[in-house]
């Protein structure tokens, strides 16, 4: 049984038996997979603190014939979310990343662009500035999943949008002009729309120096959240927790 290795993001763990864990990993080379970590609750040498969600680690695992679960042999930490201060908001943002990746990604399908997105937003997600990388991640996950039409034009008529007429609806993809807006639409603020256009053209690090209070981009995050939840056909528990935290 050949042992494979790949850089991976830890998404979630479940206890099984006395000391074993099932671990969900998003690997760079093999996509999302799940494996059994034998005696993970006892073995600090093989796993240590590498089982925290959104830890980036080097994983060693072996595929079992005719079984969906791999045998997870070892995780070696590359970067840990615990290496920086953790407060309730940052923990909530990290949980959001993990839940979206866990629920949205198909099994065994490498997604290099999404893996690089996860790495880049993790680097920027600090207790002092959690909202910018959260906004960037939500926008780009929606785009990379193929759920975000061209946001510079009305989804219905194709006309170019103006900053004072951008509307979204929790039941439909895309943005709408004033003529084709639904009665239940919400106006997307000019700042959020312009910021989304910028984010789709630039890396997350280029926004790190900007002032980013909680309310900035809040309507854009809500639009992206509705889109993700509609296509995943489930509510994101982490988003509800973040909403309670942010008042």
pLDDT tens-digit series, residues 205-220? 999 999 999 999 999 9
Quote the pLDDT of residue 183: 87
Which residues have a Cβ under 8 Å from the Cβ of 2 and sit 6 or more positions away?
A: 62, 63
pLDDT tens-digit series, residues 111-161? 999 999 999 999 999 999 999 999 999 999 999 999 999 999 999 999 999
Q: Which residues pair with 14 in a beta bridge?
A: 22
Give the number of residues written for the chain: 247
Q: How far apart are CA 239 and CA 226, in angstroms?
A: 10
Domains with residue ranges and CATH for the chain: 3-82 (2.40.50.140), 84-245 (1.20.1440.120)
Quote the pLDDT of residue 119: 97
- As given in the structure block, the two tokens for residue 75 are 């995780």
Q: How far apart are CA 70 and CA 60, in angstroms?
A: 10
Residue 246's pLDDT band, with cuts at 50, 70 and 90, is low
Instruction: Label residue 66 left, alpha or beta by phi (over 0 means left) and psi (-120 to 50 means alpha).
Output: left
pTM over 0.85: yes
For residues 137 and 45, which has the higher predicted lDDT (pLDDT)? Answer: 137
Quote the pLDDT of residue 61: 97
Question: What mean pLDDT comes out for the span 105-112?
Answer: 95
Strand segments (E) across the chain: 3-16, 20-27, 31-37, 56-63, 70-79, 167-168, 186-187
Q: How far apart are CA 190 and CA 198, in angstroms?
A: 12
């Amino acid at each position: 049984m050949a042992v494979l290795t790949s850089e991976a993001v830890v998404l979630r763990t479940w206890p099984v038996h006395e000391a074993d864990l099932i671990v969900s990993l998003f690997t760079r080379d093999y996509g999302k997979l799940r494996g059994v970590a034998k005696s993970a609750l006892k073995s600090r040498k093989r796993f240590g603190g590498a089982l925290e969600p959104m830890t980036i680690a080097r994983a060693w695992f072996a595929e079992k014939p005719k079984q969906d679960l791999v045998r997870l042999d070892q995780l070696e930490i590359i970067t840990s979310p615990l290496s920086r201060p953790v407060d309730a908001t940052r923990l909530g943002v990290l949980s959001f990343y993990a839940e979206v990746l866990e629920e949205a990604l198909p099994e065994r399908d490498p997604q290099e662009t999404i893996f690089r997105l996860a790495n880049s937003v993790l680097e920027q997600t600090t207790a002092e500035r959690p909202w910018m990388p959260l906004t960037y991640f939500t926008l780009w996950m929606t785009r990379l999943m193929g759920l975000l039409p061209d946001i510079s034009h009305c989804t219905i008529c194709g006309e170019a949008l103006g900053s004072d007429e951008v509307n979204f609806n929790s039941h439909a993809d895309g943005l709408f002009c004033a003529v084709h807006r639904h009665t239940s639409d919400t106006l997307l603020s000019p700042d959020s729309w312009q910021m989304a256009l910028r984010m789709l053209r630039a890396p997350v690090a280029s926004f790190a120096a900007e002032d980013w209070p909680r309310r900035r981009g809040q309507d854009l995050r809500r639009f992206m959240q509705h889109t993700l939840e509609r296509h995943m056909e489930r509510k994101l528990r982490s988003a509800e927790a973040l909403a309670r935290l942010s008042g």
